[in-house]
Structure 1
Amino acid sequence: MAAEIEKSTLLTTLKTYFGYDTFRNQQREIIATVLAGTDAIVIMPTGGGKSICYQLPALHFKGLTLVISPLIALMKDQVDGLKANGIEADFYNSSQGATLQQSIINKAAAGKLKLLYVAPESLAGLSPILNENYISCVAIDEAHCISSWGHDFRPSYQQLGFLKKTLPKSPVIALTATADKATRQDIADQLNISHAQQFLSSFDRKNITLEVRAADKRLDQIKRFLAKRPDTSGIIYCLSRKTTESVSEALKVEGIEATSYHAGLSFEERNKVQEDFIYDKTQVVCATVAFGMGIDKSNVRWVIHYNMPKNLEGYYQEIGRAGRDGLKSHALLFHSYADVLQLRRFTQGAGNEEVQNAKLDRMKQYAEATTCRRKILLSYFGEFLEQDCGNCDVCKNPPQFFEGTILAQKALSTIARAKETQPIGVIIDILRGAKNAQILDTGLDQISTYGIGADVSWKDWQHYILQLINQGYCEIAFHLRNSLHLTQSSKAVLFEGKKVSLTHPTEAIKQEVLTEKKPKIKKGNDLFEKLRSLRSEIAKEEEIPAYLVFSDKTLKEMEQVRPTTEMELLEISGVGQRKLDVYGDAFIDAILDFQQQKLKKKGSKTATHQVTFNMLKDGLSVDEVAKKRDLKDTTVYSHLAKLAQDGADLDLYNYVSKTEVEQIKSAKKDLDNPEGLKPYFEHFEEKIPYYKIRLALTLIDMEG
């Protein structure tokens, strides 16, 4: 089938329904593979454009594309997004009544749907249409859920292998943002698509700033962080339900719209939290890891990990929920020794305890890095950066190393004299000469190194000892009450004069002042805010999330380019034909109104319309004005329409004939006052250009 569809046709579909002029990453190759009837496994980062890989082919298949999605609460968001783009889609799950479910099956059977979303648990209800008379393609989203090797295993996904057997001629496309080699093989085998073509995109999300801080006064740090990012959406991930509730309550006291999300809530409560977040009613969600999968909310500007995640797969997927629109976003991770101990306890007794601990060690290595964090993160997924990223805290503020051999010898000697029986906290207490009950009752104050590190703070000692662990001079015996043990390498430091380099701890609050610039907030005073306000009004009217009208990235481009005609607006990334037809006039009017208000403030001598008018009075043609001002012809013609409306001494009949005006006047009656310019353009079979239609309609309005 792919051979029948030319690249230009796919690009037209992409622009018409999704608003994009070009494919990203490997999208075109993946789409061609699926349309050719070949199975595919797609590993693409969150925000990389996975959905288009099955949504666009669905528009070219004769039958239905069935989409398996893990979370019921998020299907509506996906379907609303498709409908906003003019694509017929629906979802089928256990939250619906029998009558509604039957009507959806009837719509699918009648060929009235292009995509149907379903949870694995609800597949049995679709048995009347689970055959190739109706289904042309199967997409399995969040495919890592099928693998017990994956970080988010769901048993319900393991039944999905029957789909390929039931629909052998329909291509299966399995998609996920994170899957290592073992997980990819597991996905292929369990879905019975072992010969599927695999597509691995770059895991590098350059727009996300990576930062790790010591977990010291986390709440205070979070409050400062959010104070510098007012009115932005974000997620705070926590290990426990209790923490999600305490953090959200603390933020509410600060006047921040925050709420908690965890497995202890009912389905209705969890659904409400997700919907409020998607619809921008809630600014911050404090959540356990259960939150966020599949959320297409494109304007999440930051993700904070209050506690350290248990592996890099989960961490990568969670930070990937920020900045899906490609704009600058921030991932902040708080790292503490206590979190590592707690996560170790979670793995004890697990069937794959050794694997989980190895993954936790890699997570720890990332958090404690003194080199580019993005290099460490990407190397885990088999991708290697040649140069440092320049967009992580280590690159922006490289740690300062110093000669730390004496400190290392003091710490290692204390571990030895404590007979390798004490955890890190007790070792630090010995070094600092603490007089607490544990030290005195056990006689640890009699050790010869007792108090030799009293001049170093407890927190700094912890920082130095963790570095000694990372450098392999000592290790934590987790199975022996987390006691610190020496390694073979420690002998070189204690007895052979080996030098040790350590880094000073960075002060999180100072670092924040250095790296964060307070944004200039021009509430309601700039074009972006005006467009955002308009988007919000439209979203409320249509009862859809604001980012489904247009993303922040699209609004930013509008702010920069300032399109004032339909053709100019259509050139903006994210503006497709359907959205142009529905929202185009409102956004063009908002831009024109903003420019007019700005001109009134600045005075007519700087007015862009007036500059055009003066040049025309000097005898320049429209083409010459456009060339001289580096504008498009259509923009100059929009200036003419605006000038005429404002009463300028200008005869629009110099640019559009009376015959053409009469034709357009007649069409206006025949078409019953259509909205926008496109109906006229099509009515005249594209023979009268858009600019003449706009000028003619301006004349018709002015002449009453």
Structure 2
Amino acid sequence: MLDEAKEKLQHHFGYETFLNGQERILHHVMQRQSVLGIMPTGGGKSVCYQIPSLMLPGITIVISPLISLMKDQVDEAREAGIPATFINSSLSYDEMQERMDLLRRGECRLLYVAPERLSNQEFLRQLQSIPVSLAAVDEAHCLSQWGHDFRPAYMEIPRFLSFTGSDTAVLALTATATPQVAEDISHALDIPPDQMVKTGFARENLTFSVVKGQNREAYIVDYVKKRKNQPGIIYANTRKEVEKLWEKLNKEGIAVEKYHGGMEAAERETAQERFVYDEVTVMAATTAFGMGINKSNVRFVLHARMPRNIESYYQEAGRAGRDGDPGDCTLLFSPQDAGTHQFLIDQSHLDEDRKDKEYRKLRQMIHYCHTEDCLQNEMLRYFGEEPQDPCGRCLNCTDNRTLEDVTEEAQMVFSCVKRMRERFGKTITAQVLAGSSNEKIRTLNLHTLPTYGLMKNKTQKDVASFIDFLAAHAYLSLSDGAYPVLMLTNAAIDVLRGTERVMRKETLTAETVSSEDPLFEELRQLRLELAKQHGVAPYMVFSDKTLKEFCRYRPQRESEMMEIKGVGRQKLETYGEAFLGVLQRAAAGEVKS
């Protein structure tokens, strides 16, 4: 059975071996068992249900959260020679009937639906006559109330599985699951602990950076200009900020689109298509431009502001480098971002237990922004994995800025926290140290403390940022709740005693990324033309990685082209001749390289 699966992999996708975790997942699925796959973005989750759809006797249903992505998902499967369709609210009754007939006749074996469809009685009635071999739950973290994208409609899935019967295998897939979220998914879908396949959260091709204390707008413009022709996403927290970034980048001559919830649905769809189809290189968006973005060649994801939690950041940043080539993930941090998120949590209608969890997640996100340890290891810890050797790629690992001894300033902060009897939070502590004449400080008599004004040569904002740094490095801990109180840890006591020093790195500019190989540019232009002719996104023709392999190995005949990763029989028949023509002209010296 595995040999047959490998043959399908080669024929439809052009790869000879499975990626880490895929084989183990397929083993469970082909045995009609339930399995949870936790694999990073770009780890090949879709292959884990696309290949079984070709081998199992009944149909495979993929429960996918966004109907706006279903057409892309179906197009991508069809480009690989896998008959697929979707049913959602965009279809007329007659169109839906036509697709159900295709499924009944076995002419189509892969069906995408949104979770809301599972409670539609007409859909369930028609499905009674069609055996379901596999139910794949994409973005399965939406099942957990403690996940960052909880979606109530996902709670219909267990009832739907009872309807399809015990012969239906269940495959839950997600890129972001803390141990608590994984437990919730397993419990909801009745997946045994030994049927969880976790390939690890490390993304070896991504470079993570946190940039602090910069003029955001100027940094973003400089950053994008130095990545000419490189596709990228810039995330902002508000519609207003997206509009401002879009306007600024447009004025700078950058091919940019915008995407946010305040736009009409048709406008958003056009913007997404222009980005996915390589008509523009940059997308400025809120997180409404969300999960499941299938564009494989995104080279950078830039966060103009800090997300609320590490799960959201990991998923959004992980949209870079899905093709396995290098991707850059940069987060621009300002302490005021934390205050905005804290206010929004405080004003939300969540119950107190949920609010406390959100506050805790926010503090972990802030710690990530301030740590000077390996950023990848910081993420691994969050998701319950043991840290590895430092990644050697992230900003913290490669930063060659000189270390500054800030022990004296740290002692000032610790003394102040101690004098205030560990009863106040970051804002009040920063005000006392900066010597604020705030009325509240005087009412509480905090201006009489010996530590009042100890750091008056710094702004209150700088002092608050320094406190964040100390908290990120576990010199200070914070209580739970809306108004966390600062407390000293044992590490801070050692610094106060003079037995330990506190060191801090000092500021950055974006690096220029070298321009692409002219042959690669010609192949990319050909890919764009072919994609338009076939009505698909360019990455569905061949990935950037495959184009780079063409540039490297210069295949001159079909048999040589089949040796390139990502070239399956279906794509060779559809596109091979056109690409071979360019490669043969390059070999004859007719194309610059």
What is the TM-score when the length of structure 2 is the normalising length?
0.90
Q: 1:585 to 1:521 in 2, by over 3 A?
A: closer
For the residues of structure 1 that align with 2:291 and 2:487, how far apart are their CA atoms? 40
| 1:322-343 deviation line (CA, Å, top 9, x unaligned) | 1000011100012222122222
Describe how 1:20-31 pairs up with structure 2 within 5 A.
Answer: 20-31=15-26
Partner SS state of residue 248, structure 2: helix
Return the alpha-carbon distance in structure 2 between the equivalents of residues 379 and 424 of structure 1: 25
Counterpart of 1:571? 563
Aligned counterpart in structure 1 of residue 28 of structure 2, from 18, 29, 33: 33
Q: 2 CA distance for matches of 1:479 and 1:182?
A: 20
* Deviation, structure 1 residue 520: 3.5
Distance in 2 between the 1:436 and 1:220 partners? 33
Q: 1:556 aligns with which of 527, 538, 548?
A: 548
Which residue in 2 is equivalent to 1:157? 154
Distance 2:427 2:383 in 1: 34
Is the 2:86–2:113 Cα contact (8 Å) retained in structure 1?
Answer: yes
CA distance in 1, matches of 2:195, 2:363: 32
The structure-2 alpha-carbon separation of the partners of 1:35 and 1:500, relative to structure 1 and needing over 3 Å to count, comes to: same
For 1:277 and 1:458, locate their aligned partners in 2 and report how far apart those are by CA, in whole Å: 41
The aligned amino acid for 2:374 is: C
AA paired with 2:209? E
Q: Do residues 534 (structure 1) and 526 (structure 2) align?
A: yes
5+ long unaligned stretches in structure 1: 603-704
Higher relative contact order (CA 8 A, sep 6+): 2
> Which of 303-312 and 328-337 deviates more?
303-312
The corresponding residue for 1:673 is none
1:93 is paired with a residue whose SS is coil
* Secondary structure of the corresponding residue to residue 597 of structure 1: coil
SS at match of 1:347: helix
Shift in alpha-carbon separation, 1:34–1:473, aligned structure 2, 3 A = closer
In the TM superposition, 1:243-262 aligns within 5 A as 243-262=241-260
> Which string of whole-angstrom CA distances, capped at 9 and with x for unpartnered residues, describes residues 545-604 of structure 1?
0000000000000000000100000111110001111111111111011222359x89xx
Structure 2 counterparts to residues 51-200 of structure 1, below 5 A: 51-123=46-118, 124=120, 125-131=122-128, 133-167=130-164, 168-194=166-192, 197-200=195-198
SS of structure 1 residue aligned to 2:533? helix
C-alpha distance in 1 between matches for 2:194 and 2:99: 31
The one-letter code sitting in structure 2 at the alignment partner of 1:387 is D
For residues 39 and 476 of structure 1, what CA distance do their matches in structure 2 show? 40
Q: What amino acid is aligned across from residue 240 of structure 2 in structure 1?
A: K
Q: What is the match of residue 508 of structure 2?
A: 508
Output aligned runs, 1:102-501, within 5 Å. 102-123=97-118, 124=120, 125-131=122-128, 133-167=130-164, 168-194=166-192, 197-348=195-346, 350=351, 351-397=353-399, 400-414=402-416, 424=426, 428=430, 431=433, 452-455=454-457, 461-474=463-476, 493=495, 496-501=497-502
Q: Give the secondary-structure state (helix, strand or coil) at the position aligned to 2:211.
A: strand
Distance 2:312 2:530 in 1: 35
Classify 1:372/1:85 alpha carbon distance in 2 versus 1 (closer, same or farther; 3 Å): same
Provide the C-alpha distance between the structure 1 equivalents of 2:287 and 2:231, rounded to a whole number of angstroms.
17
Task: Sort the Cα spacing of 1:450 and 1:160 in 2 relative to 1 into closer, same or farther, 3 A.
Answer: closer
Worse overlay, 394-403 or 556-565: 394-403
Q: 1:227 to 1:439 in 2, by over 3 A?
A: farther
Higher mean alpha-carbon deviation, 27-36 vs 221-230, is at: 27-36
Whole-angstrom distance in 1 between the partners of 2:29 and 2:485 = 55
Query: Are the counterparts in 2 of residues 302 and 329 from structure 1 also a CA contact under 8 Å?
Result: yes
Q: Is the 8 A contact 2:366 2:472 kept in 1?
A: no
Alpha-carbon deviation of 1:489? 6.8
- SS of match in other structure, 2:33: coil
Q: CA 1:446 to 1:290, structure 2 compared with 1: closer, same or farther past 3 Å?
A: same
Provide, for residues 159-184 of structure 1, a one-character-per-residue CA deviation record: whole Å limited to 9, x for no partner: 11123212221211111111222222
Which one has the largest radius of gyration?
A: 1
Alpha-carbon contact 1:43-1:178 (below 8 Å) kept: yes
1: CA distance, partners of 2:202 / 2:493 = 40
Q: Structure 1 residues 480, 504: closer, same or farther in 2, change over 3 A?
A: same
Tell me, which stretches of 5 or more residues in structure 2 are unaligned? none
Match of 2:44 among 41, 46, 49: 49
Query: Distance between the aligned counterparts of 1:15 and 1:478, measured in 2?
Result: 52
2:536 to 537, 544, 552: 544
Quick one: structure 1 residues 488 and 25, their matched pair in 2 at CA, closer, same or farther if it must change by over 3 Å? closer
Contact 1:27 1:49 (C-alpha < 8 Å) held by counterparts = yes
Q: Deviations over 1:382-409 (max 9, x none)?
A: 3334411101001101564444332223
Contact 2:299 2:326 in 1 (8 A): yes
Judge conservation of contact 1:564–1:591 (CA < 8 Å) in 2.
yes
* CA apart distance, 1:62: 2.5
Q: Deviations over 1:613-634 (max 9, x none)?
A: xxxxxxxxxxxxxxxxxxxxxx
Q: How much has 1:443 moved relative to structure 2?
A: 9.1
The structural deviation recorded for 1:22 is 1.2
Identity of aligned residues (%): 39
Q: Distance in 2 between matches of 1:197 and 1:439?
A: 57
| Aligned-residue offset at 1:269 | 3.2
The farther-off stretch of 18-27 and 413-422 is 413-422
SS in 1 for 2:360: helix
- Matches of 1:113 and 1:445, distance apart in 2: 75
Give the structure-1-normalised TM-score. Answer: 0.77
Matching residue's letter, 2:406: G
Deviations 1:243-294 (A, max 9, x none): 2222222222222233332333343333333222211223222223232311
1:504-529 CA distance string (max 9 Å, x none):
43x123xx3xxx2441356xxx2111
Q: Distance in 2 between matches of 1:383 and 1:593?
A: 50
Is 1:586 the counterpart of 2:578? The answer is yes
Amino acid at match of 1:561: Y
**Residues 331/117 of structure 1: CA separation in 2 closer, same or farther (3 Å cut):** same
Name the residue aligned to 2:7: 12
What secondary structure does 1:161 align onto?
Answer: helix
Matched to 1:51, the amino acid is: S
Deviations 1:210-238 (A, max 9, x none): 10011521111111111111112222222
Does the 8 A contact of 2:367 with 2:471 survive in 1? no
Map residues 609-688 of structure 1 onto 2, 5 A cutoff: none
SS in 1 for 2:588: helix
CA–CA distance in structure 2, aligned partners of residues 217 and 587 of structure 1: 44
For the 8 Å contact 2:50–2:82, the answer to whether it is kept is no
Instruction: Tell whether the 8 Å contact from 2:495 to 2:502 is kept in structure 1 after alignment.
Output: no
Does the CA contact (< 8 Å) of 1:146 and 1:158 recur in 2? Answer: yes
Deviation at 1:126, TM superposition (A): 2.3
Q: Which whole-Å CA distance do the structure 2 matches of 1:344 and 1:471 have between them?
A: 21
Q: 2:514 aligns with which of 516, 519, 540?
A: 519
SS in 2 for 1:160: helix
Instruction: Give the stretch that moved more between structures: 459-468 or 535-544.
Output: 459-468
Residues 26 and 199, structure 1, Cα contact 8 Å, conserved in 2: yes
User: Aligned partners of 1:101, 1:465: CA distance in 2, in Å?
Assistant: 58
* Higher mean displacement: 434-443 or 266-275: 434-443
Name the CA distance, whole Å, in 2 between partners of 1:484 and 1:165.
50
Q: Conserved in 2, the CA contact under 8 Å of 1:109 and 1:129? A: no
Take 2:290 and 2:344, find their aligned partners in 1: how far apart are those partners?
22
